[in-house]
Structure 1
Amino acid sequence: MSPDRASELKDSLFELRCAAEDIATAVNEGENARDIAKLCQEMVDLARNIEKLR
């Protein structure tokens, strides 16, 4: 893997972790199911994009 690709992967994994933390925060703060579902979909989309970095 090239250094640029590795950096891109690292940045993407950081975004994925932040998305997971956003979901955890929303749950802890009692957000409604629709908002949590939206955050979950964003995280799934990020994960799918990371899979494409091969």
Structure 2
Amino acid sequence: MRPRPEPCLWCGREVAAAESGRRRRYCRQSCRQRAYEQRIAVRGTSFPADSTVLSAQEVTDLADRIFAARCAAEDVVIAIREGAANDELSTLCAELLVRARDAERLR
């Protein structure tokens, strides 16, 4: 069984599996750097060390992506209830998967 790909701790993109050693936590060096900068920014504040601070725009964008994923899931449920054909269900499920992956991204 293939291990489930892990999302980047910074941006949520898929992280390539390490050949050996520790598992990778970030998809790119730039994500690793942004995460470091974030940890330094919350140091000395009342925020927990593992906090991720999002701007108001990032929160709005994340909420929009989650809403789109929920709508895609509702489309699948309605199609099943209405007895949609397998090809239509397959298309709707593919769209749901795209929306769910997009919703995983924090930024």
> What is the TM-score normalised by the length of structure 1?
0.90
Q: 3-state SS of the aligned residue for 2:84?
A: coil
Superposition RMSD on alpha carbons, in Å?
A: 1.0
How far the C-alpha of 1:17 sits from its partner, in A, is 0.6
User: Which of structures 1 and 2 has the larger relative contact order (alpha carbons within 8 angstroms, sep 6+)?
Assistant: 1
User: Which is helix-richer, 1 or 2?
Assistant: 1
How far the C-alpha of 1:49 sits from its partner, in A, is 1.5
Structure-1 residue corresponding to 2:102: 49
* Structure 2 residue runs without a partner (length 5+): 1-53
Q: Which amino acid aligns with 1:48?
A: R
Structure-1 residue corresponding to 2:56: 3
Structure-2 residue corresponding to 1:36: 89
* Structure 1 residue runs without a partner (length 5+): none
User: After the TM superposition, which segments of 4 or more aligned residues of structure 1 sit over 4 Å from their partners?
Assistant: none
> What is the TM-score normalised by the length of structure 2?
0.48
Q: 3-state SS of the aligned residue for 1:22?
A: helix
How far the C-alpha of 1:47 sits from its partner, in A, is 1.2
How far the C-alpha of 1:50 sits from its partner, in A, is 1.9
